[in-house]
């Protein structure tokens, strides 16, 4: 990053073409490693924008309600930003979200729970001719469930439904095969398991059978993405003209040039993932998460409930735990940043802040859910043991 700041100082806009690291090429440098992480061809992947921006851009190209086929369908309790995007896209087409935006859940429960694959298949079989697009999070942000994307996508395609995936909580976490699963499009952020930092540049996937071609004025399908200069063919991207020539593949969905500083903060992490490879990462992840589950069930089974699927193949490096009513100790713990205890509104807040004070970083979702993520790139089995000991002290 220091090199790029010096480059801007010395070269200004000519940094696009001058060494070292010409910015005109920077968005291509990391595509190989990024493609390996999500199971795609390099031409199917692009690094651009941020997650919800990419979600809107892709939906604007793929969500085309017409006739009876109008519904946008997603799993129950998607990430809040996704919900806002889905609702606004439905409204953009003059439709009522109460009718045309539908969630698939495990039942009538108002709390997150594992959603069997059969629930998706049954809904698709019964209502498929009314669905324009199915959006699904590869890993559910709240429950930690890893959905069977390949099976769901096949059933949806058999009914003529476009399939999109939000991989924000899956990328760099579990092995994915977007190309082989025949997913139509996907998007993700890079600041979680990919370590890019909050608000950093996001990524997107568009299957090669749907992506724009490089032919002037012609798309490889009926998909018509919004256009910008960075999605234009590289050979004359800087030229003054009105005719748009797509860069081809997922690159044709780009609008502006990417943030160079953002790319540089992501670069060393993606290279590390390229060296480790997702199969090796997954090998350790399965064991770390299983060890965390084993210790929690052995020590705290009467005080918390694990809501993440018990099948290791149906989860990533995350266990979401629900604090059972009346089990959390009420001791107030002071820190420089928080006052932890009864003054906080719910058990999730209390537990998270007390863990933070003891040196454990985790996430909470009110009123009673903690999300624990033993990340294989930097967490150890000793870390897991220590975390459970600190968790025990709260009860």
- For the chain, the structural domain boundaries read 2-276, 278-392
This prediction's pTM:
0.92
CATH of span 2-276: 3.40.640.10
Return the CATH architecture of domain 278-392. Alpha-Beta Complex (3.90)
What CA–CA distances, in Å, run from 71 to 59, 67, 74, 88? 13, 11, 10, 13
Is 229 in contact with 235 (CB distance < 8 Å)? no
375 pLDDT tier (thresholds 50, 70, 90): very high
107: pLDDT strictly greater than 90: no
- The mean predicted confidence, pLDDT, of the chain is 91
Q: Classify strands 101-104 and 71-75 as parallel, antiparallel or unpaired.
A: parallel
218: pLDDT strictly greater than 70: no
Query: How confident is the model at residue 190, as a pLDDT?
Result: 96
Distance CA(289)–CA(313), nearest Å, equals: 11
């Amino acid at each position: 990053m220091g090199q790029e700041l010096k480059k801007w100082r010395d070269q200004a806009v000519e940094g696009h073409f001058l060494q070292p690291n010409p910015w005109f090429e920077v968005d291509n440098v990391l595509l190989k490693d990024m493609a390996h992480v999500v199971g795609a061809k390099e031409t199917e992947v692009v690094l651009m924008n941020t997650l919800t921006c990419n979600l809107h851009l892709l939906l604007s190209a793929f969500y085309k309600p017409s006739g009876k086929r109008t519904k946008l369908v997603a799993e129950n309790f998607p990430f809040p930003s996704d919900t806002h995007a889905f609702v606004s896209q439905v409204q953009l087409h003059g439709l009522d979200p109460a009718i045309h935006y539908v969630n698939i859940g495990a039942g009538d429960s108002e709390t997150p729970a594992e959603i069997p694959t059969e629930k998706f298949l049954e809904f698709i079989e019964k209502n498929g001719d009314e669905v324009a697009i199915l959006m699904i999070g590869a890993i559910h942000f709240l429950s930690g469930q890893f959905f069977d994307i390949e099976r769901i996508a096949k059933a949806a395609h058999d009914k003529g439904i476009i399939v999109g995936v939000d991989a924000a909580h899956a990328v760099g976490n579990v092995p994915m095969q977007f190309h082989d699963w025949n997913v139509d499009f996907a998007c993700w952020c890079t600041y979680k398991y990919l370590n890019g930092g909050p608000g950093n540049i996001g990524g997107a996937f568009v299957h090669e059978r749907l992506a724009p071609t490089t032919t002037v004025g012609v798309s490889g399908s009926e998909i018509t993405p919004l256009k910008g200069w960075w999605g234009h063919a590289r050979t004359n991207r800087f030229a003054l003209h009105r005719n748009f020539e797509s860069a081809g593949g997922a690159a044709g969905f780009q609008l502006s040039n990417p943030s160079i500083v953002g790319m540089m903060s992501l670069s060393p992490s993606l290279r590390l993932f390229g060296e480790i490879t997702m199969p090796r990462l997954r090998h350790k992840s399965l064991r770390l998460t299983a060890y965390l589950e084993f210790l929690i069930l052995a020590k705290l089974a009467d005080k918390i409930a694990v809501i993440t699927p018990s099948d290791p193949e149906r989860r990533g490096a995350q266990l979401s735990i629900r604090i059972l009513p009346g089990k959390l100790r009420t001791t107030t713990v002071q820190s420089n940043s928080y006052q932890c205890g009864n003054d906080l509104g719910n058990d999730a807040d209390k537990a998270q802040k007390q863990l933070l004070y003891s040196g454990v970083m985790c996430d909470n979702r009110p009123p009673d859910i903690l999300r624990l993520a033993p990340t294989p790139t930097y967490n150890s089995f000793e870390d897991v043991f220590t975390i459970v000991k600190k968790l025990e002290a709260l009860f």
